[in-house]
Amino acid sequence: MDPQQRHLLETSFEAFVCAGFTKSQLMGSSTGVFVGQDKCDWNRMLTGDQSGPYAATGGSSSISANRISYSLGLKGPSATMDTACSSSLVAADTAAATLRRRRCEMATVCGVNMLLLPQTFIACCQAKMLSVFGRCKTFDESAAGYVRGEGCGAQTLQP
C-alpha cells in the first residue's frame, strides 16, 4: 500500500475522533471523503511483478479517498483530486460545495504529499520550477519558483 494511503487513513480517522465521532457512529453515515493528492512516487518505486491482488489499488491515487470510505463504512461521495499544488484547496472547495448542496451530512477533507524519489526533484530543477531562494515568495515581484513540501492533514466539515 502506498504510504500516502496509510497516512490518509490514520489522519482522517484522527480528525473524526477529534470531532467527537466513533467508528460505529461513522459506519453507514452519509459522510463524504475528499482528498487532495498530487502524483504518486510510490508506483515508480515498485519493482518486480505487480500483478498481485492489491496491485491495482495499493498505489493508485484515485483509490485514496475510496480506501477511507471503505475502511470506515462511509456512504457519501468519495473523490481524490489531483490539481498539483492546489489539490487540497480544490478538495476543500468540493467538500464545501457538496455540503451546501446537501449531498452528504458531513465530510472529511484530506491532503497528502510525500517526497519519495530524488528523480522528481531533479526533474523540477531541470525545468527551473524550484525557487533559487529556498522559499516561496508568493505574489512578490522577486518570486522565482516554488519549494516542495510534504505532509498529511485532515479536517472534518459539517454544515
d(CA 133, CA 143): 9
d(CA 62, CA 66): 8
**Against a cut of 0.85, is the pTM above it?**
yes
Structure confidence at residue 55 (pLDDT): 67
> What three-state secondary structure class fits 31?
strand
In this prediction, the residues of the chain whose per-residue pLDDT falls under 70 are: 47-51, 53-56, 59
With cell 465530510, the residue in question is 107
**In 3-state terms, what secondary structure has residue 151?**
strand
Q: What is the pLDDT of residue 74?
A: 99
**Predicted local distance difference test score (pLDDT) of residue 60:** 75
The pLDDT value given to residue 10: 98
Residue 73's pLDDT is what? 98
Please provide residue 20's backbone torsions phi and psi, each rounded to the nearest 5 degrees.
Answer: 95, 15
Which domains does the chain show, CATH number per domain?
3-116+149-157 (3.40.47.10)
List beta partners, residue 156. Answer: 108
